[in-house]
Amino acid sequence: MAARTSPVVRGATGSSATIAGVPARSSIRVATSATVNSITPSRASGAGGGSELHAVRVRARRHRLHPFLDRPGPVAIAHRGGAGEAPENTPEAFGAAVALGYRYLETDAHVSRDGVVVAFHDPRLDDRTDRTAAIAALTVAEVQAADAGCVFSADGGRSFPFRGRGVRIPRLEELLLRWPEARVNIDPKADACVEPLVALIDRVDAWDRVGIGSFSDRRLDRIRTLSGGLACTSMGPRAVAGARAAALCGPIPRAGADCVQVAPRSGRIAIVASGFVRAAHRAGLPVHVWTVNAESSMHELLDLGVDGIMTDRPRLLRDVFAARGLEVTGERTRVGASATPQADRPWRDRRAAPPRADPRRGLEEDAACGYPQLRRATRACGRPDLAGGTASSCGCRPFRPGHRRRLATQVERFRCRNTEAGKRSRDV
């Protein structure tokens, strides 16, 4: 496939473009321009140039947050614009969330038959509109002719306040341009959507205010490659499973991701726990949790130190943030309005400090308490070697020899079942 012109090379010269009145933002490009310019044009445009450019940009921002994530406090994210209070993924829902003060919106993406990316969750229109057809089989004009407010009811079906009021399915480009200060988390729902989505974000120069999450690891890898390392991506399902296993014994692998976006639980298995959040923060990964609609769960997650909460009830989450002295935009906590002792402390002070590694002993030391944590190293076959430490006066739980062996067994079994390296080692 012919290499496309990278937006980073344009931004590296310091130029600034304007699209539909929206100023171009080039914070990612400026930060990486010195490194990217060291790649010759022939190398960047040749075979494998996109992957090489992607690797360079990832290394350039390895120790800093992507601009999409650079809020000092936890953020409130309107899931599908606030699906519990307005028809989901519609301009009415997104506009209501922005009016409440939200700056983080979440939406989904499909592509129409004529290649236009639209904001919609399901592959078909059947359940959310008055039409019955697949989006991929319709033109964008036919998709937007459907009544997206037809079935929404906030009172269990007694009334339908948006029916027949011209509520339509928006183009994703409209969402990005109509609210230029909003940061949009996008879930591409189909493989066919990946390339049109990357081209759209490129065209409107929105990489620094877009985050991408997906239930497909392959889809996420494709987006990272096509964007040349500009995309802010979360972990896919396989990466999350590996992260949860690794969190049992130390820091988790980044797996090319900029953040972790997970549900609180997967069946009976709790994913978001204090140890998981601490391990993610040691790896420099913010943790966003979806979809949380109960007030008690919102408080519990904020107590654990998560960095973002997605909800269908933006008014409730706004009230929870206000009660704790927090801003839904992720700005610093307001002075004097604290509902919990933790809220009195600056947000970044509550995060674990970057780990200090001692490669000779195989230990990862948590700078916050000085307790040596377990660190995983991999042998040539891909199986983990584990080394343990001792407890300190901070009261952290010591890793007894038997405990270390059990942890090693759990992680090794996981890798042998779920990774190519483990499969190769079994074949040998």
Q: Return the active site residues.
A: 79, 121
What DSSP line would sit under 211-255, residue for residue? EE--S-HHHHHHHHHHTTT--EEB--HHHHHHHHHHTTSSPPP-T
Number of residues that this document lists for the chain: 428
Q: How far is it, in rounded angstroms, from Cα 408 to Cα 250?
A: 12
Report strand pairing: 104-111 vs 117-118. Answer: antiparallel
- State CA 300 to chain mean position distance: 20
Q: Give phi and psi for 18, each to the nearest 5.
A: -125, 130
Amino acid letter, 289: V
Chain center to CA of 169:
24
What is the separation of C-alpha 110 from the centre of its chain, rounded to a whole number of angstroms? 18
- H helix and E strand count, the chain: 15, 17
Q: Compute CA 227 distance to the chain's CA centroid, rounded to the nearest angstrom.
A: 16
Q: What is the CA radius of gyration of the chain?
A: 23
Question: Is residue 295 within 8 Å of 283, Cβ to Cβ?
Answer: no
Q: Report yes or no: 371 and 325 within 8 Å, Cβ to Cβ.
A: no
- Please tell me the distance from the alpha carbon of residue 234 to that of residue 61, in angstroms, as a whole number: 15
- Give the count of beta carbons closer than 10 Å to the beta carbon of residue 380: 7
Q: Are strands 18-19 and 22-23 parallel, antiparallel or unpaired?
A: antiparallel
Instruction: Let me know: does 377 contact 364? Beta carbons within 8 Å.
Output: no
308-311 and 287-289 as β-strands: parallel, antiparallel, unpaired? parallel
Cβ atoms of 118 and 143 closer than 8 Å: yes
Angle between helix 420-427 and 401-418 (nearest 10) = 90
Interatomic CA distance for residues 148 and 177, integer angstroms = 20
Element (H, E) at 42: helix 41-45
Dihedral angle sign, alpha carbons of residues 298, 317, 189, 60: negative
